[in-house]
Amino acid sequence: MHMRIRGRMPRDRSTIRRILIRQLLADREISSQGELARLLGEAGHRVTQSTVSRDLNELGATKADEGTTHERYVLVDQQGSPDEGLDELRRALEDYLEGAVPSGNLVVLKVRSATAGAVAAALDATPPPGVVGTVAGDDTVIVIADDAVGGGSVAKTIMGILGD
């Protein structure tokens, strides 16, 4: 299997892998972590079941029965309403965001200690216009903006979510 990640290529392997997982979950009915690990392996990402489990957790993936004969993994933005995702994003930003600084096609979000993963997952689940992806540390989230949109515009959009 040869999968190509859409858009610009990030450098961090876990970010690349999570983008690929999002694409796989959107394009296929995947019902087990073993199946996902196999597909990732075919795409050049050798992973363990525990790595797949962590990635699914970080992405906010859950198993859902969508009227088929079996459950499959879905992302929050694939099953919930857009308003639900936006509400979750707004709550995460209200609870954890301390500041946003744009730089080129990036936005550096300073958040409370140990909350970057939750903020990044909320942004990935309901990405504002122009957001390509995120990378989370402990108290910092790097938001990658589409070059055509730019970090300044994305920072304003993120801060605007708090004002809605």
Where along the chain do its domains lie? Answer: 13-79, 82-163
Residue pLDDT, tens place only, 84-102: 667 778 888 998 999 999 9
Q: Which amino acid is located at 104 in the chain?
A: G
Between 3.40.109.10, 3.30.1360.40, 1.10.10.2120, 3.40.50.720, what CATH number should domain 82-163 receive?
3.30.1360.40
Owner of token pair 């970080």: 58
Domains 13-79 and 82-163 share a fold: no
Q: Which amino acid is located at 5 in the chain?
A: I
User: Higher-confidence residue: 38 or 9?
Assistant: 38
Calculated CA dihedral for residues 118, 119, 120, 126, nearest 10 degrees:
110
Residue pLDDT, tens place only, 133-153: 999 998 999 999 988 889 999
User: Is 144 within 8 Å of 132 (Cβ atoms)?
Assistant: yes
The count of C-alpha atoms lying within 13 angstroms of the C-alpha of 154, restricted to the half-sphere facing its C-beta, is 29
Measure the CA–CA gap between 156 and 128, rounded to whole angstroms: 11
Measure the CA–CA gap between 110 and 99, rounded to whole angstroms: 5
Could you tell me which residues are beta bridge partners of residue 99?
110
pTM: 0.53
To the question of domain 13-79 being in CATH 1.10.10.10, the answer is yes
Residue pLDDT, tens place only, 67-78: 556 788 887 655
Task: Give 111's pLDDT tier (boundaries 50, 70, 90).
Answer: very high
Mean local confidence (pLDDT), 19-40 = 86
pLDDT of 72 reads: 86
Distances (CA, A) of 68 to 29, 31, 65, 72, 155: 10, 11, 6, 9, 40
Helix (H, G, I), strand (E, B) or coil at 104: coil
User: Is 154 within 8 Å of 131 (Cβ atoms)?
Assistant: yes
